[in-house]
Amino acid sequence: MSALQNPKAPANLRAVDSLTVALGSRSYPIHIGPGLLRDPALYPSDAKQILIVSNEVVAPLYLQTVRAALGDRDVQTIILPDGERVKTLATFATILDRLVDARFHRDCCLLALGGGVVGDVTGYAAASFQRGVDFVQIPTTLLAQVDSSVGGKTAVNHPRAKNMIGAFHQPIAVLADTDALKSLPPRELAAGLAEVIKYGVIVDPDFFAWLERAMPKLRALDPDALAHAIRRSCEIKAGIVAEDEREQGKRALLNLGHTFGHALESLGNYERWLHGEAVALGIVLAARTSAAIGWIGAADCERLEALLESAGLPIAAEGVDPDRVLERMQLDKKADRRGLKLILIERLGRAVVVPAPERAVLKAVLAAASG
Amino acid sequence: MSALQNPKAPANLRAVDSLTVALGSRSYPIHIGPGLLRDPALYPSDAKQILIVSNEVVAPLYLQTVRAALGDRDVQTIILPDGERVKTLATFATILDRLVDARFHRDCCLLALGGGVVGDVTGYAAASFQRGVDFVQIPTTLLAQVDSSVGGKTAVNHPRAKNMIGAFHQPIAVLADTDALKSLPPRELAAGLAEVIKYGVIVDPDFFAWLERAMPKLRALDPDALAHAIRRSCEIKAGIVAEDEREQGKRALLNLGHTFGHALESLGNYERWLHGEAVALGIVLAARTSAAIGWIGAADCERLEALLESAGLPIAAEGVDPDRVLERMQLDKKADRRGLKLILIERLGRAVVVPAPERAVLKAVLAAASG
């Protein structure tokens, strides 16, 4: 986890809890804590042209704070509608139009101020404008702070498949301001906790056990508990990304629950479930599939479901057609000509990537969870 | 120039003149010579899903040959209209639609069969589909064989700026079949020669002198002369790209003539001049600017213009408004907040990147060349 700081990353002039995503010359800091948005020292100091991309929910809360911290630079803003539906090539094109119209140069910087949708589409625009310019992630949801803002995956959705068009493009810094979570609706907080729980399940049994104890504090927005959960989540993700930036191997573990989850999200038209809720359902399905093939026992399966439920997450997908879920899963990026792969659970704290079990097993698991 | 071959690159089972672009795990071969298109051994052996992107001029000539060499795989084809006007986000989206509709997986491969436009848009689609899949460049113009197919720059045009949206994404192989040049209109052959001459000007005075002698043979499509010109051009480009893949330094030399050239192309609506013709004009303007600030002498300037003319290239841009050219140049990717940079010529065989001279100098040079 140690590495040279990216020379273009902002100087850090006060005590902020920071960790580094170690990727050689593309290493960057993740700053975690309260009050970060208003700290001028945390923003890139050398970019004179800045485009802030945010949305109609987040901008009224935080845009002025960010603008004030940026001082008198050439700052453009784009305010998108809220929701997954703006994560399209059309929005991507809108961002690029603005960059061209405002005559932005290669040494500009984009700031993504919002949740995962804003971060993903802004990051992909930064990856593509002039074949790649700087960007900073300023995640304002728990889900974005612990997952999508870290690791450099950027994308937009294709009308028929999620995250199908994108790039690997690392930010130059991530500002995870815990104060931003105070304005987060409880349902979105829970959605972020699904990814936090995921980290415990895939690699860290102690963190999983800590989450079982700390869940009431987390749901009550206890600042110390939140900061620990975010930091440990980012540490685990940063460590995995540093080992396997382009998902040739270990990084796939981060997709626990996502193959099932993406299929459910898509069948629900990205409206029925939030992404984190779909991931929670996906984790339940992965756990039950693991139990069905004799990996984890029923007790661990129940313990995991209890933790997800205590976080305010769904653990059953009523009324879903198992065949339609399986059909969507075949289109998942984890499928190749050798067939679909899944991340399954050997024990709480250890997940592995394996070829999917036979269709009948998956169908039975889906039928039980949708009945 | 030596490096491990990309393990995914096709096995090379017969004597083909090949060189390697040395980029570590992303190294790849450039094969040069006659009859390559029909050689099954030169295509990637492990991709079962293949999308060939070509255009309405090239496909009738070579598509069946390529399909026959691919055998019984799942081969999709997209035939684009001819010309720079298809190098758009809309065409990019069309390619991605097909990949999703045909349920292509991560281990698919795209083949770009055509000139620079086909290669650039296909490469950008390959860079973006599922955040990056394999592609092979099969350039059928001299310009694409010596320049755009090598080095991993992919892009589409923005309506108001060329190559503004793209990615660095290296192909897994380049097949430069010299037989394909037999069907090339003389004007397009000349356009390719502009880039060949460029390599001599920027780094290789011996190659420049060889081109002065060999130009009649090249224009008569002498196979040995063509193979040497392509090989030496690709060697120079591959060497520069291996040193500086993402254009932080030396790679910028490859843009000699391109800042002027892009501005002229854009003012001519991409119709008046072919890209290589605009580059030839740009080289003339760069040479005259270099002479105006006392770098190269009038004799070398004339020698360069004579070589370009003997290749069948324009050396004057009649009727162009110098102010409009300068305005377009300011939007060029080589401009940043410290101002516009140009590649100027110290002597034939040595170019350097420098801040642009003052506007009055550029305007006088442009006025002289457009009068």
pLDDT in tens, A227-264: 999 999 999 999 999 999 888 888 999 999 999 998 99
Nearest to B110 by CA among B81, B68, B70: B70
Region A114-118: mean pLDDT is 96
- Measured CA to CA, the distance from residue A118 to residue A78 in angstroms comes to 10
Mind listing the pLDDT tens digit for each residue in B298-337?
Answer: 999 999 999 999 999 999 999 999 999 999 998 766 666 6
**Which residue from A221, A302, B114 is spatially nearest to B122, judged by alpha carbons?**
B114
In Å, the largest CA–CA distance within chain A is 62
Contacts of residue A330, Cβ cutoff 8 Å, sequence gap at least 6: A340, B103
CA-based nearest distance A154→chain B, Å? 8
The predicted-structure confidence for A315-342, as pLDDT tens digits, reads as follows 999 999 999 999 999 876 666 667 889 9
Instruction: Name the maximum alpha-carbon separation found in chain B.
Output: 62
Residues of B in contact with A153 (CB under 8 A): 131
A136: helix, strand or coil: strand
Q: How far apart are CA B347 and CA B350, in angstroms?
A: 5
Q: Is a pLDDT exceeding 70 seen at residue B212? A: yes
Distances from the Cα of A135 to the Cα of A6, A24, A108, A120, B26, angstroms: 13, 17, 9, 11, 25
Active site residues of A: 131, 153, 195, 237, 247, 251, 255, 258, 262, 275
Stretch A20-32: mean pLDDT, rounded?
Answer: 93
Q: Report, as an integer, the average pLDDT of B217-238.
A: 95
Residue B176's DSSP bridge partners are: B32
Q: Does B7 touch chain A (CB under 8 A)?
A: no
CB atoms within 10 A of CB A16: 17
Is A335's Cβ below 8 Å from some Cβ in B?
yes
pLDDT greater than 50 at residue B1: no
Tokens of B119: 């290669």
| CATH class of this structure's domain B17-182 | alpha beta
What pLDDT was estimated at residue A9? 45
Query: Under a CB-based contact definition with an 8 Å cutoff, are residues A113 and A53 in contact?
Result: yes
Angle formed at CA A199 by CA A198 and CA A200, multiple of 5 degrees: 90
Q: What DSSP designation does A23 have? A: -
By the CB < 8 Å criterion, does A155 face chain B? yes
| Average pLDDT of the residues in B80-105 | 96
Q: What is the pLDDT of residue A34?
A: 92
What is the pLDDT averaged over residues B249-265?
Answer: 93
| Inter-chain Cβ pairs, chain A and chain B, closer than 8 A | 85
Task: Please state the rounded mean pLDDT for residues A126-151.
Answer: 97
Cα–Cα dist B208/B194, whole Å: 12
Instruction: Tell me what the mean pLDDT of segment B127-149 comes to.
Output: 97
Whole-number average pLDDT of chain B? 92
CB B116 within 8 A of CB B80: no
For residue B16, is pLDDT > 90?
Answer: no
Is the Cβ of A97 closer than 8 Å to some Cβ of chain B? yes
B 236-275 → A contacts, CB under 8 A: 246
pTM score = 0.90
Residue pair A166/B128 in contact (Cβ under 8 Å)? The answer is yes
Tell me what the mean pLDDT of segment B268-272 comes to.
87
The chain B residue lying nearest A93, using CA atoms, is B89
A240, burial (CB in 10 Å: exposed 0-12, middle 13-18, buried 19+)? buried
In terms of Cα–Cα distance, which of A104, A105, A114 is closest to A61?
A114
For residue A94, what are the contacts with CB-CB under 8 A and spacing of at least 6? Answer: A78
Q: What are the distances in angstroms from CA B177 to CA A28, B24, B70, B147, B239?
A: 44, 25, 16, 14, 21
pLDDT at A8 over 70: no
Q: Reduce the DSSP state of residue A84 to 3 states and report it.
A: helix
Tokens, residue A142: 């728990």
- At B246 the pLDDT is 87
At B337 the pLDDT is 65
A10: pLDDT strictly greater than 50: no
- Residue B132 falls in which region: left (phi positive, over 0), alpha (psi -120 to 50) or beta: left
pLDDT of B9 reads: 45
Predicted local confidence at residue A282, as pLDDT: 98
Location of each CATH 3.40.50.1970 domain in chain B? 17-182
Q: Which residues pair with A32 in a beta bridge?
A: A17, A176
Which helix or strand (DSSP H or E) is residue A327 part of? helix A322-330
DSSP state of B27: -
DSSP, collapsed to helix, strand or coil, labels residue B176 as strand
The reply to whether residue B158 touches residue A100, judged by beta carbons under 8 angstroms, is yes
Query: Closest approach of chain A CAs to the CA of B122, in angstroms?
Result: 14
- Closest Cβ opposite residue B333 in set A106, A153, A166: A106
Residues of B belonging to the active site:
131, 153, 195, 237, 247, 251, 255, 258, 262, 275
**pLDDT value of position A180:** 95
| CATH 1.20.1090.10 location in chain B | 186-370
Tell me the C-alpha distance between B286 and B278, whole Å: 12
pLDDT (mean) for A76-98: 96
When pLDDT is cut at 50, 70 and 90, the band that residue A20 belongs to is: very high
What does the pLDDT average to over B108-124? 97
Q: What is the dihedral of CA B182, B187, B189, B195, to 10 degrees?
A: -170
Residue that has been written with the tokens 């990084």 in this structure: A251
Give the full edge-to-edge strand order of the sheet including B339-347. Answer: B335-336, B339-347, B350-355
The beta-carbon neighbor of B336 closest among A89, A105, A161 is A105
Dist. CA A266–CA A332, nearest whole Å: 11
Residue range A17-183, CATH number: 3.40.50.1970
CA B229 to chain A, closest CA, distance in angstroms equals: 29
Cβ contact A132–B246 (<8 Å): yes
Q: Indicate where chain A has its CATH 3.40.50.1970 domain(s).
A: 17-183
- What would be the CATH architecture of the domain defined by A186-370? Up-down Bundle (1.20)
Of residues A49, A101, A336, nearest to B105 (C-beta): A336
Chain B residues in contact with A129 (beta carbon < 8 A): 164-165
A90 interfacial to chain B (CB closer than 8 Å): no
Phi-psi region of B129 (alpha: psi -120 to 50; beta: other; left: phi over 0): beta
B333 contacts A127? CB cut-off 8 A: no
pLDDT value, residue A286: 98
Interface of B with A in 121-150 (CB under 8 A): 127-132
Instruction: Give φ, ψ of B87 to 5 degrees.
Output: -85, 70
Question: Which residues lie below 8 Å from residue B164, measured CB to CB, with a gap of 6+?
Answer: A96, A100, A129, A130, B155, B157, B158, B333
Confidence class for position B5, pLDDT limits 50, 70, 90: very low
Q: Which of the residue ranges A14-23, A164-173, B30-39, B111-120 would you say has the lowest mean pLDDT?
A: A14-23
A93 neighbourhood in chain B, CB within 8 Å: 89
Asked whether B152 and B169 are in contact (CB, 8 A), the reply is yes
CB A62 within 8 A of CB A70: no
* Tens-place pLDDT, residues A194-221: 999 999 999 999 999 999 999 999 999 9
Rounded to whole angstroms, the Cα distance separating A42 from A14 reads: 9
Yes or no, beta carbons of A165 and B128 under 8 Å apart: yes
User: How far is it, in rounded angstroms, from Cα B131 to Cα A165?
Assistant: 6
Structure tokens at A170: 């690392």
The pLDDT of A47-53, averaged and rounded, is: 95
Pairwise CB contact (< 8 Å): B131 & A166: yes
CA distance A146 to A207: 14
Whether the per-residue pLDDT at B13 is higher than 90: the answer is no
Q: Give residue A160's pLDDT.
A: 84
- Counting beta carbons within 10 angstroms of the beta carbon of residue B2, is it exposed (0 to 12), middle (13 to 18) or buried (19 or more)? exposed
Asked whether the CA dihedral B161, B168, B176, B334 is positive or negative, the reply is positive
Dist CA A337 CA A330 (whole Å): 10
Mutation for A interface: B49, B89, B99, B105, most A CBs within 10 A: B105
The residue type of A230 is: I
Residue A333 has a pLDDT of: 60
